[in-house]
Structure formats: structure tokens, C-alpha cells
Amino acid sequence: MHTEHVILFAGPMGAGKTAAISALSEIPVVSTEALNTDLAASAKLTTTVALDYGQITLEDGHVIRLYGVPGQERFEFVWKLLQTRAVGLVLLLDACAKDPVEDVDFFLDHFKELLRHGAAVVGVTRTDLAANEAFARCCARLRQHHERIPVFEVDARDRAQMVVLLTALITLVQMRETELEAN
């Protein structure tokens, strides 16, 4: 029997969610990009307003459905709808953001239900452009939360790097499923 796994990509606007799904998907990405009207939050010209969708079919026939959610809090209703089916979360953080550590707290809080039954990985993007120590600070914040969430420095456009991130997440999901079956 073939199964499907829903993976959410979340994070602030401009962190690379659309780019990551585009790098991974075997199908053309369904994207809901619109003109960015919140230039104070991000200088990018467009932003996701509903979701991005891509998919990967594994050799055994299992399908991984990749959903990218908008980064703005006003779209929280989309986050709630999609996380009910998700088994994993890829949290992408922008190292160039004003306070990426604040973004860790914000998104972990908003996706806490998914974290209770699923798994997560964090990818810190744009570290090559950041003058701060965003990666180290994000790792430290995750340790403070006592979260066992792996953190990676990634270029969301790089397929190989995103495959590593997704593989780590799927491994965590499988470990969690095995633990639940054992109990």
C-alpha cells in the first residue's frame, strides 16, 4: 500500500520556502505568489498568499507532499488547516532577519501541535549574507527549549542541501512512528 506524507515548510517571509519546494519538487510547483504589500517586513517583490505545493514520489511509491505556508501571521488560519495532516515541519529562518531567534520562538509556538505528534528540522538560510551569528543563536535558542530539532545552514535553492534537510526530517518522522508503535 502506498502512503503519503505531508511536510510543511514554514518560516518568515523571505526565508526561502518557495525556493526550497521548487528545488525539491518533481512536478511544477503550484504557487500563489502575489505582489508584496508588506515591504516593511521584506523587500521582496512577491510573497506567498495561500500556499505553495510540490511533491516527490519515492521509489517504493510513497508520496511526499510539500506544502509551503505564507510567512505572515495574518495567514495563521492556513497554518492551522495544513498542520492537522502534516507529519513534519521544515522551519526555514532568514539569518539576515532583524531577529531570527525571535522567529524560532514565534514559529515553534504556532506549530506546537504539529511538534507534539510530528517532527521538525530547522534550516537557517542566507548565512553567507548575515553579519551576525544567527545560526549559533538559533541553535542556542532551540537548546533552551529543550527541543531535539536538528539545525542546518542551507541555501534553499540548492537541491542537494534541501534533500539532506528533508532526509533528516523523514528519518525523525520514522523514528517517532517507531517509538509510538512500540508504546
C-alpha cell at 114: 504539529
Paired strand residues for 88: 7, 119
Number of domains in the chain: 1
Q: How many angstroms separate the CA atoms of 124 and 16, rounded?
A: 9
Whole domain around residue 114: which residue ranges? 4-182
From 115, 101, 91, 92, select the one nearest 173 (Cα to Cα).
115
Predicted confidence (pLDDT) per residue in 47-88, tens digit = 555 578 999 998 888 899 999 988 777 777 777 878 888 999
Q: Is residue 92 within 8 Å of 15, Cβ to Cβ?
A: yes
What would the pLDDT profile of 135-155 be if each residue is shown by its tens digit? 888 888 888 876 679 999 999
Q: Which CATH number fits the domain that encloses residue 143?
A: 3.40.50.300
pTM of the model: 0.86
